[in-house]
Amino acid sequence: MHVVPPALDRLINDFAKLPGIGQKTAARLALYILRRPESEAKNLAQDLLHLHASIHLCRQCFTFSESDPCGICANTSRNTRLLCVVEEPGDQLVIEKTGAFNGLYHILHGVLAPMDGIGPDELKVRELLARVRSGTVEEVLIATSSTVPGEATASYLVDQLKKTGVATSRLACGIPMGMDIKYADEHTLAHAIRARQHIIEQV
Amino acid sequence: MHVVPPALDRLINDFAKLPGIGQKTAARLALYILRRPESEAKNLAQDLLHLHASIHLCRQCFTFSESDPCGICANTSRNTRLLCVVEEPGDQLVIEKTGAFNGLYHILHGVLAPMDGIGPDELKVRELLARVRSGTVEEVLIATSSTVPGEATASYLVDQLKKTGVATSRLACGIPMGMDIKYADEHTLAHAIRARQHIIEQV
């Protein structure tokens, strides 16, 4: 005997497969949708059905886009000499939101993970090197995460990019803005001390 | 110019409308679904489309169910003398999972919230009183939340149920099992002291 109706149970299990959603949250979401008007569930279903059909990879930077090339690659006001390499399209969204970057992007679609069989050929590395060799890029900002696989991927890319003669850079690491140093982890703090930036007094 | 493709943006906004899902989590979920095979998105969409069509309220206890009466109301091995009143079907699921309750349920579908215009007529209160009057119920366990509106609803129900002559009870309040009392909030601790249970030594 089911206490959870099968149609509800199926939706709970669907939600529980999503990252960061446990069984309890999945049940809460499914029950919420059941309490709301049916039109909202239909809306969400339609948007899910259209998702893959509408969105493809930009052939230049490999981000998710409805147009090809994508809006950023097609935007002539962007700085084509600066290329930012990120792991995932989500990382690109976060960087775009800062408004601090006006160059182009290159999406790797992952990080090197030899244990999982993910080498350079599984990422968009060959495409990155070809793009740097053929194009106008003068600096590659490698914005992979500051994690072990992210750093390993960055090191590998620096090695490969050296051969092309392009300049490479990494995002600065240190204490998050506005954070009390009491709460900074010791690795970050140690790095922030070693990478301290000298203050140049303005006259 | 959109950096987020509209089809992806629509799905992110759908997810962000769900309770406890902010814009960042919504973006993470939508990007995850986009990276997974299209069949998984279609599956989730189908389950959403079937949800409201398959599930109705049980006419006896008002829980969500595909059958009417629901599986619990129809189960002849349940104790029909004990009735547990809960706010939402989700609360019933949690209680069922404990395996500690073998009676029947009554779902209120909310709590009293006069400021939001939710009075007894907006909840399944009349149905509860009719059910208690006409049936075999000897005890009503009022399992509304231990919040201000939950307690207010419980008080109101106790008053109303008094007239029917049925026995009423509330879930016990106190220190959560396994919790260090250092971490208990002071209201709970004060209640746990006042409601202390005397130990009866077993001979």
pLDDT digits 0-9 by tens, A44-66? 999 999 999 999 999 999 999 99
> For B64-73, what is each residue's pLDDT tens digit?
999 999 999 9
- Whole-angstrom Cα distance, residue A149 to residue A130? 23
Which residues are CB-neighbours of B137 under 8 A, at least 6 positions away?
Answer: B80, B81, B82, B83, B131, B166
* pLDDT, mean of residues B188-193: 82
Instruction: Give the per-residue pLDDT at A202.
Output: 60
CB contact A16 to B (< 8 Å)? no
Residues of A in contact with B40 (CB under 8 A): 17
> For B66-93, what is each residue's pLDDT tens digit?
999 999 999 999 999 999 999 999 899 8
Instruction: Give the per-residue pLDDT at B203.
Output: 58
Q: What is the pTM of this model?
A: 0.74
- Whole-angstrom Cα distance, residue A58 to residue B5? 11
Nearest to A52 among B20, B28, B41 (CB): B41
User: For A2, which residue in chain B has the nearest alpha carbon?
Assistant: B71
Identify the band that residue A192 occupies on the pLDDT scale cut at 50, 70 and 90. confident
User: For B64, which residue in chain A has the nearest alpha carbon?
Assistant: A5
User: For A92, which residue in chain B has the nearest alpha carbon?
Assistant: B3
> Nearest CA to A52 among B109, B158, B5?
B5
Instruction: Give the per-residue pLDDT at B2.
Output: 53
Q: Percentage of residues in chain B with pLDDT exceeding 90?
A: 70
Q: Answer whether B30 sits within 8 Å of A45, measured CB to CB.
A: no
CB-CB contact of B49 with A41 (8 Å): yes
> For A27-39, what is each residue's pLDDT tens digit?
999 999 999 999 9
Distance of CA A155 to the CA centre of its chain: 18
CB contact A57 to B (< 8 Å)? no
Q: Answer whether B48 sits within 8 Å of A55, measured CB to CB.
A: no
- Whole-angstrom Cα distance, residue B165 to residue B163? 6
- Whole-angstrom Cα distance, residue A146 to residue A94? 15
The mean of the pLDDT values for chain A is 90
CB contact A177 to B (< 8 Å)? no
Q: Answer whether A51 sits within 8 Å of B7, measured CB to CB.
A: yes
With b meaning 16 or more CB within 10 Å and e meaning fewer, what string describes A93-115? bebeeeeebebbbbbbbbbbeee
Cβ neighbours around B80 below 10 Å, total = 14
> Nearest CA to B60 among B132, B110, B131, B112?
B131
Residues of B in contact with A124 (CB under 8 A): none
> Nearest CA to A47 among B119, B196, B18, B135?
B18
Range scoring the smallest mean pLDDT among A161-165, B119-123, B170-174: B170-174
Please, what's the largest Cα pairwise distance for chain B?
A: 80
Residues of A in contact with B34 (CB under 8 A): 51-52, 55, 64, 89
Reported in sequence order, the residue ranges of chain B that DSSP labels E, i.e. its strands, are 56-57, 64-65, 79-86, 103-107, 139-142, 167-170
Instruction: Give the per-residue pLDDT at A183.
Output: 81
Identify the band that residue B1 occupies on the pLDDT scale cut at 50, 70 and 90. very low
SS3 B82: strand
| Beta strands across the sheet bearing A167-170 | A103-107, A79-86, A139-142, A167-170
Angle between helices B89-98 and A23-35 (to 10 degrees): 150
Q: Does residue B199 have a pLDDT over 90?
A: no
Identify the band that residue B201 occupies on the pLDDT scale cut at 50, 70 and 90. low
Q: Domains in chain A, please, with CATH?
A: 6-54 (1.10.8.420), 64-170 (3.40.1360.10)
Amino acid at A90: G
Which candidate in B48, B65, B67 is best for mutational testing of the A interface (most A CBs within 10 A)?
B48
Nearest-Cα distance to chain A for B112, in Å, is 17
> For A157-184, what is each residue's pLDDT tens digit?
999 999 999 999 988 888 888 888 778 8
Nearest to B3 among A20, A40, A93 (CB): A93
Q: Does residue B178 have a pLDDT over 50?
A: yes
Range scoring the smallest mean pLDDT among A103-107, A122-126, B166-170: B166-170
CB contact A22 to B (< 8 Å)? no
User: For A70, which residue in chain B has the nearest alpha carbon?
Assistant: B3
Q: Answer whether A48 sits within 8 Å of B44, measured CB to CB.
A: yes
Q: Answer whether B66 sits within 8 Å of A5, measured CB to CB.
A: yes
- Which residues are B104's β-sheet partners? B83
Instruction: Give the per-residue pLDDT at A177.
Output: 81
Q: Does residue B202 have a pLDDT over 70?
A: no
Nearest-Cα distance to chain B for A22, in Å, is 13
Instruction: Give the per-residue pLDDT at B53.
Output: 92
Which of 96-125 (A) contact B at CB < 8 A? 96
